[in-house]
Structure 1
Amino acid sequence: MNTNYQENLKDTLVTYTLEINGQFYIIENVPARVNTETGEQYFSPETAEQIQKIIREKKQPHHFIQTPVYDFVA
């Protein structure tokens, strides 16, 4: 990783979204390194494992949201 690239990374908390078999999951306050120029998010191996554990264990969510779904028509 070059020095300029590392300078563009900021440690922050993000909202991670995931879709598995038509089921959507939203995980808030996930630690990530975010590229301030591109917005690309990077997660540590430990964070990725914790995300998988949260989904796998299917515990009671913190809260639910309702969101509209649109069809993109070109």
Structure 2
Amino acid sequence: MQETMINTEVTYTLQHQGRFYLIEHVPARVCRETGEQYFAPETVEHMQMLIRTQKKPTKVIETPVYEYA
């Protein structure tokens, strides 16, 4: 049986208190079949710490917003 999970880095997107955040180069295990991403507990804790402490971001981007209507 072939391994369907690969170790890679992903960009994680989240919305918190009305703001959007991108965290790049996050270590993850990704299912080749579904694209589902799995993170180690310490990885999740580190991402939460980055958002909670409001550490200065590496860069800031502007994002267009569209309404579906």
Normalising by structure 2, we get a TM-score of 0.93
Long gaps (5+) in structure 2: none
Q: Following superposition of structure 1 onto structure 2, how do residues 59-70 of structure 1 map, counting pairs within 5 Å?
A: 59-70=55-66
Matched, 1:9 2:8: no
Size of the aligned set, in residue pairs, is 69
| Percent of aligned pairs sharing the same letter | 55
State how far apart, in whole Å, the 2-side matches of 1:67 and 1:9 are: 31
Matched, 1:35 2:31: yes
The CA RMSD over aligned residues, in Å, is: 1.2
Give the drift of 1:22.
Answer: 1.0
Residue deviations 1:19-72, cap 9 Å, x none? 012101110000000001110000000000000000011011000111111112
Normalising by structure 1, we get a TM-score of 0.87
**Greater fraction helix:** 1
